[in-house]
Structure 1
Amino acid sequence: MIIVEGIHHINIAVTNLATSSKFYSDLFDFEITDNSHSNYVSISLEPITVNLVQTEKVDNQLSSLSKPTLSFEMDVDDFTDAISEIEEKEIKIIKGPESIENGESLLFADPDNNLIEIFYKS
Structure 2
Amino acid sequence: MNVQGINHITIRVSNIKSSETFYLNVLGAKIVHKGNTDIYLDVGGVWLCLIEMKDAKPMDKNQIGVDHVAFTVSEEHFPKAVQLLRERKIKITRGPIKRGGGNTVSFNDPDGNEIEFFTGSLQERMKNWQ
Q: TM-score range by the shorter chain?
A: 0.7 to 0.9
Cα separation, 2, equivalents of 1:52 and 1:17: 7
* Larger mean Cα displacement after TM superposition, 82-91 or 3-12: 3-12
Per the alignment, do residues 104 and 41 of structure 1 end up closer, same or farther by CA in structure 2, a change over 3 Å counting? same
Residues 35-114 of structure 1 mapped to structure 2, 5 A cutoff: 35-36=34-35, 38-55=36-53, 56-61=55-60, 64=61, 67-68=67-68, 70-114=69-113
Structure 1 stretches of 4+ with a deviation exceeding 2 A read 2-8, 56-61
Q: Number of matched residues?
A: 117
Higher RCO by CA contacts (8 Å cutoff, separation 6 or greater)? 1
Per the alignment, do residues 58 and 73 of structure 1 end up closer, same or farther by CA in structure 2, a change over 3 Å counting? farther
1:41 to partner: Cα distance: 1.0
Cα separation, 2, equivalents of 1:115 and 1:81: 19
* Identity value in percent: 26
How well do the aligned residues superpose, as a CA RMSD in angstroms? 2.1
TM-score using structure 2 length: 0.78
Task: Structure 1: state its 5+ residue gaps.
Answer: none
Task: Structure 2: state its 5+ residue gaps.
Answer: 125-130
* Larger mean Cα displacement after TM superposition, 43-52 or 87-96: 43-52
TM-score using structure 1 length: 0.83
Per the alignment, do residues 83 and 46 of structure 1 end up closer, same or farther by CA in structure 2, a change over 3 Å counting? closer
Q: Deviations over 1:73-108 (max 9, x none)?
A: 222221111101100100011111122133221110
1:58 to partner: Cα distance: 4.3
